[in-house]
Each structure stands twice: as structure tokens, then as C-alpha cells.
Amino acid sequence: MNERAYLDAASAEPLHPAAREMLLSAVDSGWADPVRLHHEGRTARLLLDNARAVLAQGLGVRPDELYLTTSGTAAIHAGLSAVLTARRRVGGAVVHSAVEHSAVLHTAGEAGVEIGVDLHGRVDLDAFAAAVRKPGVAVAVLQSANHEVGTRQPIEAAAAACGPVPLFVDAAASIGHEVVSDGWSVLTASAHKWGGPAGVGLLAVRKGTRIAPAWPMDEREDGLSPGFPDVPNLLAAAAALQARLAEAAELDRQHRGWIAEIRQRVGADVPDVEVVGDPEDRLPHVLTFSCLYVDGEALVTALDAEGFSVSSGSACTSSTLRPSHVLAAMGVLTHGNVRVSLARTTTYGEIDRFCRVLPGIVQRIRAEVGM
């Protein structure tokens, strides 16, 4: 058995040591109901306020602009629905890029106005701006960077084009890794993408943005995240973000170098491969490529057997047997697809071994189908 090399950080990072330490102490101190007035409740409230303050600072917002939800998906569902409800007199259309996370596509539904992307996966800014200026638009949605191919989106320019229409930014792929441009009205993020625990999402709403929760409200998070809060997990998420941001500059430098090396070696050593996404204007830690004539599931399985954990946007690796809507919108090859994403624990030795092992695996899978 080979040593494992976890190269799927964009799906989930292993828990940051700072988060683990915080979680272990917080389960003993932060378990009570923070809305109660007794000693244990006040302690939990103090810890909750502390977590919110640290998370808000990490995003660059005020604590009263930040709602804590139960996942990044829940933050998108709650935030987008609340903006839609508040702006229903203006209109109901949701302008969004074709490569948004499925949580955005599911919330927009029939009201969605989809804007195409180029071969790198970057939104057509002129079409986006034109669609936002039409009457009846409730909200515009644009991710900070694409979660599958790493391409950054033009947030600043999109915000400038939005005028009075609120810009909703899904920043799950970026937060903890790099700074997101300003100009947005609502921003969402997810803790397990920066080494925090699963089950923590962030929903930041800039002051002046109108929101109205779209379902039965309780007293928690202004009705935007109903139910008893998980204070220990929120604290762990805050500790992870703080620690991760302190390491971000160093990891950014390291990861960009290694990703550039993988891009170069995969392109040079594997014939008929298409590396996708913008080569420069991108996330530091993600690289995606597609190998012609290769079954994506066979490739992921073979890499797993060699000790490498990667994800794939190929149809055969999805439960629906449909290819990734991101790759399809870009018009790039969907089969033989691999996404490599580096964690803070990734080493150069892992990257180097990946680049050495991959060409033989691709060659073997192709040989099985006579290519």
C-alpha cells in the first residue's frame, strides 16, 4: 500500500490542528443554549460572539453583518431566498453565470437567467452586465472563483455593472485561500474548505442590503438559520480561519509554484491532455485537466489505488451520470477529468510522485480500449 496523498482539498480539507484543539475544549464549555440567561448559557453566548467576531474579521465584515449557518449550501439557499423575498416587488429574475455551484442553480430554478462563460470558465461580463440592467432582476449571482477549474471571476467589474441590483457572491472556493474583491452585497462561504469542520456556513450581508427570511422564523440568526447553534463547531471554524489566514501568504506562494509544476509536467508527459481553467488569474491550489479517451471513473480509481485522492467532473463519476455542468458550459472535454487540489498538508514529494505516476496510468487505461 502506498502512502496516501490527499489531493482533494477543494472538496474538504482535513481539520486544521488549531480547529481540532479548539473543538476539543469547546465541546466541554460551549454546549449550552446561548439564548438562556444562566451561567452556562451566558458562557455559550460569549463563545458564540467570539466565534462570530473572529469569522467576521476573517471576511472583513462587521459582526452584525454575519449570519452563521449550517453549511455553505444552507448559506446560499437562505441568503438567496431572503434577497429574492425582499426584492419581489422589483422582480424575480436571478442573473447568474452558467458555472455557479448547484446550490445557486437549485435556488434560482425557473427564475434563473444563465450567462455563458468562455473556454477558461470566466463569465461573459458584457452579457452579464446587459442582463442585470434589464427590468425585473432581483439579484445577480457570481462566484468569486470556480470550484472545479479554479478560474477567478471578475467580481469588481460585475459589482460595478450591477448598479442598484445586489451582487451575491459565492466565495466558498476562495475564503481561507485568498482575498475576495469588494463590491458585493451578500457573500457566502463554507468552513470545511479552509480546514474548519463540516456543518458551518457563513452568510455575510452588507448593511443596507434588504433581506427577508423566506420561511418560518425563529429567534436565531435573525431567522436566517433556524435552530440551536453548534457553538463548538463555530468556534473551531473560527480558529481554523484565523490560523489559515495567518498561513495564507506562504501557502499561496507554495501552492502556486506546485500547481504550475503539475500543469507543466502533465502537459509535457501525458499526450492528448487538456489542462483547463485560466492559467494565471486563478485560485492558488486547484488544477483541473481532462485526458482524451480515458474513463474518468477508471482514472480516479487507478489513482486511488496508487494512493492519490482526487475528484472528477466526468459523468461516470457522478450519481446522475451527467457530466459536470461547469465543464459542459466551458465546452471542454468532460471525460477523463481530474481535479487536483492542494491542502495545507500537501508536500512536494506528493506532487512529484503524482506527476511521475500519472502518465503510466493514463497510458494503461488507454491501452485497454485500444488507444
Query: Is 364 among the residues that bind other proteins (CB under 8 A)?
Result: no
Query: Is 323 among the residues that bind other proteins (CB under 8 A)?
Result: yes
CB closer to other proteins, 274 vs 306: 274
Q: Does the active-site annotation cover 162?
A: no
71 close to 190: Cβ distance less than 8 angstroms: yes
Judging by DSSP bridges, how do beta strands 186-190 and 201-205 pair with one another? antiparallel
Query: Is 158 among the residues that bind other proteins (CB under 8 A)?
Result: no
* Cell numbers found for residue 182: 469588494
**Residue of 4, 38, 322, 356 interacting with other proteins (CB under 8 A):** 322
Q: Report the half-sphere exposure of 311 (CA within 13 A, side-chain side).
A: 16
* Active-site hit among 162, 291, 316, 355: 316
Interaction mask 243-282, other proteins, x per CB under 8 A: -----------------------------x-x--------
Contacts of 89 (CB under 8 A, 6+ apart): none
Contacts of 265 (CB under 8 A, 6+ apart): 355
- Residue 352 Cβ vs other proteins, minimum distance, rounded to whole Å: 27
Query: Is 316 among the residues that bind other proteins (CB under 8 A)?
Result: yes
Query: Is 121 among the residues that bind other proteins (CB under 8 A)?
Result: no
Nearest Cα to Cα of residue 197 among 71, 283, 103? 71
Contacts of 158 (CB under 8 A, 6+ apart): 123, 125, 128, 129, 140, 142, 167, 183
Residue bearing cell 508527459: 269
**Residue of 334, 338, 340, 341 interacting with other proteins (CB under 8 A):** 334
Site for other proteins in 41-70 (CB under 8 A): none
CB closer to other proteins, 174 vs 324: 324
Sequence letter at residue 327: L
Active site residues: 316
Site for other proteins, rule CB under 8 A: 272, 274, 292-295, 314-316, 321-323, 327-328, 331-336, 369-371
